[in-house]
């Protein structure tokens, strides 16, 4: 889980490097998806999972890939060009809270006092980031930060969809590869419009950042399924703490990012909300 936090927390900073060197967000998501799909489907085939059977589940793969990978990661890659990587990582932690809110609205989950309190803390954290003028390094960043809130929303929507419509009997690693392939199909039209950027041969630090992240991103996906298998979704939900902490650490290490007292207070509030939702899930 620590390895997942480090890999997924790093993506905010590597995407920021890519944007600084002009790599389109669509190209970032496309090559991440190509790497993830190729490796996960190969692992599934090596384990005897017969991933080619999932070709019949193309609709599931595309919807899951669009909501869980293509749309949120394209927004994230766009936003980190304008806001600190640590703040983007912090807002990403709202995903489990939004998942519960959507499930509650669809009557897929019961009303629970601890979880409702967790939603309240999460909302307070978002307000602390967006509200005070002294919260962000530049008040003009707030539209980009507001746009960044769509990232955890799409992650939450994908959690609901993937869980509710998962093909019965399908192997998790094969489904992960199919989801990445669906993300590639979803973002390909936009990548073509953007000129279909190819990072080979690497010409600048942005290309190296893209290749480095693509080479390890599939490990995070593989560990995701293994932690879910070994320890269950409640234990896995705590990964959000590590992703945020690692995201803030990488932002400090690579860009020297510092944050206001409002952002640190927001982190405490969001972490408290996540802890309450996780505790109630037990």
Return the pLDDT at 24: 95
pLDDT average, residue stretch 184-208 = 94
CA–CA dist 63, 139 (Å, integer) = 35
Return the pLDDT at 55: 82
Return the pLDDT at 262: 94
Q: In angstroms, how far is CA 199 from the centroid of its own chain? A: 22
Return the pLDDT at 180: 92
Mean pLDDT of the chain: 89
Return the pLDDT at 261: 94
Return the pLDDT at 51: 81
Residues near 149 by Cβ (< 8 Å), separated by ≥ 6? 91, 94, 126
pLDDT average, residue stretch 102-108 = 84
CA geometry: angle at 275 spanning 270 and 277, to 5°? Answer: 95
Summarised one tens digit per residue, pLDDT across range 137-193 is 998 899 999 999 999 999 989 888 888 888 887 888 888 899 999 999 999 999 999
- Cis peptide bond upstream of 201, omega within 30: yes
Return the pLDDT at 104: 85
Summarised one tens digit per residue, pLDDT across range 47-87 is 888 888 788 889 999 999 999 999 999 999 999 999 999 99
Question: 66 vs 1, which has greater pLDDT?
Answer: 66
Return the pLDDT at 182: 94
pLDDT average, residue stretch 25-45 = 94
CA–CA dist 27, 34 (Å, integer) = 10
pLDDT average, residue stretch 213-229 = 83
Question: 227 vs 29, which has greater pLDDT?
Answer: 29
Return the pLDDT at 233: 64
Share of the chain above pLDDT 70, in %: 98
For residue 211, the number of C-alpha atoms closer than 13 Å in the C-beta half-sphere is 11
Contact 54/178 with Cβ under 8 angstroms?
Answer: yes
Question: 163 vs 215, which has greater pLDDT?
Answer: 215
């Amino acid at each position: 889980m620590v390895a997942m936090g480090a890999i997924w927390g790093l993506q905010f900073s590597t995407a920021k490097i890519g944007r600084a060197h002009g790599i389109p967000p669509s190209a970032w998501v496309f090559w991440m998806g190509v790497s993830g799909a190729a490796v996960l489907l190969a692992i599934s085939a090596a384990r005897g999972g017969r991933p080619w059977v999932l070709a019949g589940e193309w609709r599931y793969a595309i919807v899951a890939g669009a909501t869980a990978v293509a749309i949120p990661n394209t927004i994230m890659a766009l936003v980190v060009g304008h806001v600190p990587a640590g703040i983007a990582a912090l807002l990403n932690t709202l995903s489990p809270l939004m998942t519960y809110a959507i499930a509650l609205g669809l009557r897929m989950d019961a009303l629970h006092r601890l979880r409702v309190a967790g939603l309240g803390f999460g909302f307070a954290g978002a307000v602390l980031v967006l509200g005070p003028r002294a919260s962000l390094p530049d008040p003009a960043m707030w539209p980009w930060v507001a746009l960044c809130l769509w990232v955890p929303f799409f992650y939450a929507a994908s959690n609901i969809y993937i869980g509710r419509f998962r093909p019965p009997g399908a192997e998790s690693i094969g489904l992960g590869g199919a989801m990445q392939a669906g993300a590639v199909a979803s973002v390909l039209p936009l990548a073509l419009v953007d000129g279909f950027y190819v990072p080979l041969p690497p010409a600048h630090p942005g290309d190296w950042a893209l290749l480095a992240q693509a080479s390890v991103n599939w490990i995070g996906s593989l560990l995701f399924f293994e932690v879910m298998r070994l320890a269950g979704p409640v234990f896995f939900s705590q990964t959000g703490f590590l992703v945020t902490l690692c995201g803030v650490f990488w932002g400090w290490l690579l860009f020297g990012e510092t944050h206001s007292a409002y952002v640190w207070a927001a982190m405490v509030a969001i972490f408290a909300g996540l802890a309450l939702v996780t505790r109630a899930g037990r």
